[in-house]
């Protein structure tokens, strides 16, 4: 029996058997299901309206599953179907305009004579960087509005308290800036220029020689002043290596005055000294020139570092065990 010509009709007059193709015979459109599928997957055009919504693709009788309709998708040339996927979550644009509106806030009062030195755009930015707390100045009310977490507000308050405390002994924008974001001085030349006939003094302060002392005892002082009002060791100026700044400590009986205000006793704390400060060895009510003008020439300075939260003022009992410190 000879082989059947692939182009000839079947014995039933060219009709295909119901339910599938005759043996070795291609589909009527001249393209196999595989070719149609290849075109479809490749995004081919001209498939006679065949899309992902079509059923069967002539594959139902080949033992392969038919392609079910897919909502929202169509082949090229076929009209777009609206996205009706019931499983797709609804979306809503996010509004960040009220972000942080419910965060805690706190007012911090400031002395009126500190407003001009503290409330500058630069200082506001430093406070934000150092504490993470949002800061708003209210100069007319002499208040600082702090907003943030409880920890951020606490850090900002302690930093502001440090500024106000040290600025009791003289204030300027430069001093406030140094207190908010200190730089670490590793060595400096300290010159004490007398206001009257007192002897001048100068010393390079460093890690190996961090102290210059004033008093009437020749054995313990760098600057000797043989005056009855001056104590054996009247005061000490010290480069604190850990904090990188120069502080003054009152060791006297009659008092040491910085910028007209008496320093706390040495058992209580020490105070930051700045270039240009006036250091008096007796009450300015008695003599406004019995002392020195402080001159600081910084030699080695490390990069600015983030300030640790300042400590509170120690009581006399605490200072005996914890040291003298205003931080």
Q: What is the CATH number of the domain that holds 290?
A: 2.60.200.20
Mean pLDDT of 8-19: 46
Q: Which residues pair with 239 in a beta bridge?
A: 246
Q: Give the pLDDT score at 303.
A: 66
**Residues spanned by the domain of 317:** 183-322
CB burial of 153-188 (b: ≥16 within 10 Å; e: otherwise) equals bbbbbbbbebbbbbbebbbeeebbbbbbbbebbebb
Higher-confidence position of 88 and 248: 248
Kindly state the tokens that stand for 19: 């339910």
Q: Give the pLDDT score at 116.
A: 93
pLDDT greater than 50 at residue 75: no
Within a domain: 67 = no
DSSP state of 169: G
218 and 299 share a domain?
Answer: yes
How far apart CA 45 and CA 299 sit, in angstroms, is 79
Q: Is the CA virtual torsion 241, 243, 244, 248 positive or negative? A: negative
Q: Give the pLDDT score at 96.
A: 52
Q: Give the pLDDT score at 183.
A: 82
Within a domain: 275 = yes
- Rounded to two decimals, the pTM is 0.59
Q: Give the pLDDT score at 294.
A: 94
Tell the residue number behind the tokens 């302060």, with chain if given.
205
CB 159 within 8 A of CB 310: yes
The residue among 154, 179, 204 that closes a domain is 179
pLDDT greater than 80 at residue 68: no
223-224 and 211-215 strand pairing: parallel
Mean pLDDT of 34-47: 60
Within a domain: 204 = yes
**Span between the terminal Cα atoms of the chain, in Å:** 111
Structural domain tally of the chain? 2
Report the range of poorest mean pLDDT among 81-95, 172-186, 219-233: 81-95
CB 142 within 8 A of CB 112: yes
Q: Which residues pair with 311 in a beta bridge?
A: none
Higher-confidence position of 23 and 213: 213
pLDDT greater than 90 at residue 25: no
How far apart CA 268 and CA 215 sit, in angstroms, is 20
How far apart CA 63 and CA 29 sit, in angstroms, is 20
Q: pLDDT digit string (tens) for 264-301?
A: 988 888 899 999 899 999 988 887 889 999 999 999 88
212 and 165 share a domain?
Answer: no
Give me the helices (H) in the chain, please: 33-41, 115-118, 121-131, 150-166, 173-180, 316-322
216 and 168 share a domain?
Answer: no
pLDDT greater than 80 at residue 4: no
């Amino acid at each position: 029996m000879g082989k059947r010509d692939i182009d000839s009709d079947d014995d039933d007059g060219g009709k295909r058997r119901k339910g599938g193709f005759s043996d070795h015979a291609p589909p009527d459109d001249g393209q196999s299901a595989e070719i149609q599928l290849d075109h479809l997957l490749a995004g081919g055009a001209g498939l006679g309206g065949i899309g992902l919504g079509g059923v069967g693709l002539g594959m139902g009788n080949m033992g392969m599953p038919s392609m079910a309709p897919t909502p929202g998708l169509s082949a090229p040339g076929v009209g777009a179907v609206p996205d009706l996927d019931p499983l797709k979550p609804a979306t809503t644009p996010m509004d960040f305009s009220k972000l942080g509106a419910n965060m805690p806030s706190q007012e911090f009062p400031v002395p009126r004579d500190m407003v001009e030195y503290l409330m500058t755009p630069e200082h506001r930015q430093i406070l934000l960087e150092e504490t993470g707390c949002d800061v708003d100045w209210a100069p007319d009310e002499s208040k600082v509005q702090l907003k943030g977490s409880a920890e951020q507000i606490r850090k900002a308050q302690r930093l502001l308290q440090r500024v106000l405390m040290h600025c009791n002994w003289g204030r300027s924008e430069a001093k406030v800036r140094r207190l908010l974001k200190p730089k670490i001085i590793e060595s400096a030349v300290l010159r004490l220029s007398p206001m009257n006939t007192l002897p001048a003094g100068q010393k390079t302060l460093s890690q190996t020689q961090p102290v210059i002392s004033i008093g009437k005892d020749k054995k313990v002082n760098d600057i000797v002043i043989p005056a009855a009002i001056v104590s054996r060791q009247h005061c000490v100026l010290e480069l604190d290596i850990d904090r990188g700044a120069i502080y003054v400590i009152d060791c006297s009986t009659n008092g040491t005055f910085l910028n007209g205000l008496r320093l706390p006793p040495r058992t209580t704390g020490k105070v930051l000294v700045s270039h240009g400060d006036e250091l008096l060895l007796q009450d300015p009510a008695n003599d406004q020139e019995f002392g020195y003008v402080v001159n600081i020439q910084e030699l080695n300075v490390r990069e600015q570092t983030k300030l640790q939260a300042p400590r509170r003022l120690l009581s006399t009992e605490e200072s005996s065990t914890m040291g003298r410190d205003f931080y």
